[in-house]
Structure 1
């Protein structure tokens, strides 16, 4: 582990793989005591593959743990094989190079907090933080007026706090010298929570006394929530901070965040709002000020760091009392009575979904995605883009937004498809007094349509210089091939011969092009053309075909449209 520079968590993972395999070997192999990688008997290759085959039975379906443990054991065996002075017998050489033998599984990703849930969590954390600091402030003030309990008595809370604060007496000393509970003073008895069992009286008292001077594990949940919400960083990065990672400036703070899993350290700067001193001490509303929260944490952690001789001072230090003994420990987010679930229950916070701190990080990622309008390079500024796609992009909020974007795009193209050319059954319709209002044309436009001045080939055009396929003021660059898809087009009965010639042209293209390519280029035109021709009678179509034959009419298309490349 030291040679590979692996973290403590990785070390525990390798140790668990070894322990689980050896436990299996003890139960499955009669000569387990003789087992060795260097010996051919008993056959460890069979034992390893059988252990891996049975690994998934001990975990939920789809769990990544079996593959994770199997890969750790394979890494250890591969490392031994690579050592020049250590032999490995059997077929394990080939197994190391081959397939692992168990699927990787899939982690169940959690969803982000809703905005309402996140808001109430942050508000509860803010209130809990203020209550913690007020409690500890009062505890140190009470300890300041106390004295040595040997002189002024062991039944006064101020004296006991004085002894703990100055390190004169330990919790064990106080437990030995406390008078019987029946002789306790009223202030001392009031420190016990209601319903305390007699056998737990002394330990509960010591926990309360220590809690009046130092933060306990549940107190630190509030600070973790506030720092994660303010910085957008993971729980792992926030909890690992110590004083050397923080550099305060006059209007900002620089913090070095270390992510052990990725073995990376990133520096981030956070501005500090200019506030009056009284507003800093008594703000009216929660303010996610990174500098203020970290200063408060250092103030709480420094006495504990001095007691335990810990340098540099970690931000997340706590005091714990067990069996009349006080210890200084790091923050823990798991364990009975220590989880985020316990903190939420204590503060009467009800949320939808699991109480998983990772959801707070994902909420920050969603907000960043909205701020940067989906630019992954900006959103994934503290990890890889692949990590964002795999772990954060699946959130409900982003999926809803993505669905709205897709729906908007579909609606845009659907409206373009539905807003096609205007078909006039009779050219005499242009003489109608209401034609100008109904068709949105001016008298000059109508006159030009009647005179054929706006004829673009297969149809006439409302205004060739306002084409949706070109720039404003530019002559339409796609006429007449895209006229049947254009909202500016007016199809008159006189256009019927050219429409029939265009239909024959599309039929030739349909046979020459791949179906997908034809549909992408000409599908909408063919659909609109079929609809237009369906409005004409058989007699009208027959007369148009006769006119084509008699006058030798041909379809006038640009040279560029005579060649289709399937690219």
Structure 2
């Protein structure tokens, strides 16, 4: 009875909404929930036959929650569970809204959302650069093969005549009939021998190879019709190659925008091609100009073909490949017009390539391709054409660099780009490299320390063999000797080449940062000053919170410790000198007030 009640509502909602496919989610919800109740009710000691929408003998609210939980276990990574539960609640809510008898608690439950959210789809990753190159090369080779095959077929077509006058056992005549729409299964079964082995050799040669070892079946008239069509017209497998190359060359075009292009949307200009593209999801129509790229000066086997490989050239080649189909068949002016055997007409027919038919999807095209060595293409799963667009976005990001707003371009909001494109592997690798470069720069700056000139080297500092290893030239040595480069705590090789500023002006952080500067030069005569600085830092350790002291003085204290370790035997004399001469540390007022407060 419960299944019947839900099925009645299923019929009503299908008729009310005019759902052409019968509403598979509604039907699936009725069947699966009824089957679930057959197993769920006995666990409570109840009879499933007592389940009713208007009765509370069996608590259907608890049953819907239990069913949803079971569906989530059956479909952990799919939205199907959520769709089925929503469909069931919609059927119950419709019955309650129409005045049918429904338990009050079940009516309230039908108006509430599902208990669980649908799982989020895992974003698609882009193809690797090697995969992109393999797909590009395979697509180019496919285009060349298609153009060669069509050229041969159209040459034979020019030599053909009406088979009703010249006979049906001539290949050019059969092509003439295919062009005229006269080739059907019924006609060929009447005009050709019943077995393909009795057909003329020139006709048998165009049939597909039969390599599965089955000796009881051989290509028949249907295979012949398809082969005749492929000699004159491009089919979906041929058009895959054009679509791949166009998507790789048009970073601002989605697969659906490209697929929906029609002949009136294409306008060739002197400098390229102008496309009118419509994005249904964004309810936006825009015109994009793709400039014509210059052809390579030297034509080699890799670039050989009937035209260039830019967007302008590919569109011209695609239109040339499908031109005969537009003349032979009456159809809408789709850019991707594919001709193949149609079961309804039992002959050739033309329609917009869907790229979704059995054995004609993107994954089937990849499986049929070989690289230059004759090996199958090693392309990562899933074989989704949307990954091509992400690949072109990544290539654009690598070439342009810049901020996320720059990479998003004019066809995305920044958040859309961040959520759908910036997550890719290549983007993460580039971000990781940028972070590593920044960290490397910071670590290099952090590990730079002053040069300590020991007591034995000081008298000989003006000698080149002593000064050069210390990174000093004669002018710097003279300035240091004269006291011109004394920064208060240490000497400085060049105050105008500070690592803390890049404008070429005099260093503005001396002496506060001298112990962390690569330009600092320390003489043993300056050890008393460094000891007084160390004492000041230790007083600040007691006055400041530990995090603040570590941020302000921690690195300086570590640098001083390294210097003191190198000249530990000189420290007692330097300490006594501070006491005897009553020295005091002169720090800038800004350093005291800014760092010590």
Which of the five TM-score ranges fits, normalised by the shorter chain?
0.7 to 0.9
Note closer, same or farther for the CA distance 1:489–1:100 as it changes in structure 2 (3 Å cut): same
Q: Is 2:331 the partner of 1:310?
A: yes
SS in 2 for 1:268: strand
Q: Could you tell me which residue of structure 2 aligns to residue 362 of structure 1?
A: 390
Q: CA RMSD in A?
A: 4.1
Q: Structure 1: which 5+ residue stretches go unaligned?
A: 1-10
Q: Distance in 2 between matches of 1:491 and 1:388?
A: 53
Shift of 1:85: 9.2
Note closer, same or farther for the CA distance 1:509–1:54 as it changes in structure 2 (3 Å cut): farther
Q: Is 2:385 the partner of 1:371?
A: no
Please, which moves more after superposition, 341-350 or 417-426?
341-350
Q: Deviations over 1:30-87 (max 9, x none)?
A: 6899977x9989866445433432233334x5x2435763696499689979989999
Note closer, same or farther for the CA distance 1:544–1:429 as it changes in structure 2 (3 Å cut): closer
Q: Could you tell me which residue of structure 2 aligns to residue 563 of structure 1?
A: 593
Q: Could you tell me which residue of structure 1 aligns to residue 43 of structure 2?
A: none
Q: Could you tell me which residue of structure 2 aligns to residue 476 of structure 1?
A: 507
Shift of 1:359: 3.7
SS in 1 for 2:238: helix
CA contact (8 A) 1:71 1:100 kept: no
Q: Could you tell me which residue of structure 2 aligns to residue 348 of structure 1?
A: 370
Note closer, same or farther for the CA distance 1:315–1:78 as it changes in structure 2 (3 Å cut): farther
Q: Is 2:128 the partner of 1:128?
A: no
Q: Structure 2: which 5+ residue stretches go unaligned?
A: 1-18, 39-47, 372-376
CA contact (8 A) 2:142 2:238 kept: yes
CA contact (8 A) 2:341 2:348 kept: yes
Q: Is 2:531 the partner of 1:500?
A: yes
Normalised by the length of structure 1, the TM-score is 0.82
Shift of 1:158: 2.6
Q: Is 2:205 the partner of 1:190?
A: yes
Q: Deviations over 1:392-435 (max 9, x none)?
A: 33444444333333333233222223332111232762435333
Q: Is 2:131 the partner of 1:113?
A: no
CA contact (8 A) 2:183 2:225 kept: no
Q: Is 2:42 the partner of 1:23?
A: no
Q: Counterparts of 1:165-564 in structure 2 under 5 Å? A: 165-168=179-182, 170-181=184-195, 183-195=198-210, 198=217, 200-232=219-251, 233-273=253-293, 284=304, 287-301=308-322, 304=325, 309-322=330-343, 324-349=346-371, 350-354=377-381, 355-381=383-409, 382-426=411-455, 429-432=458-461, 433=463, 434-471=465-502, 473-513=504-544, 515-537=546-568, 540-564=570-594
Across the two proteins, how many residue pairs are aligned to each other?
Answer: 550
SS in 1 for 2:273: strand
CA contact (8 A) 2:183 2:347 kept: no
Q: Distance in 2 between matches of 1:497 and 1:147?
A: 109
Q: Distance in 2 between matches of 1:174 and 1:190?
A: 17
Shift of 1:564: 4.2
Which of the residues 148, 167, 172 maps onto 1:158? Answer: 172
Note closer, same or farther for the CA distance 1:537–1:321 as it changes in structure 2 (3 Å cut): same
Please, which moves more after superposition, 44-53 or 553-562?
44-53
Shift of 1:25: 1.9
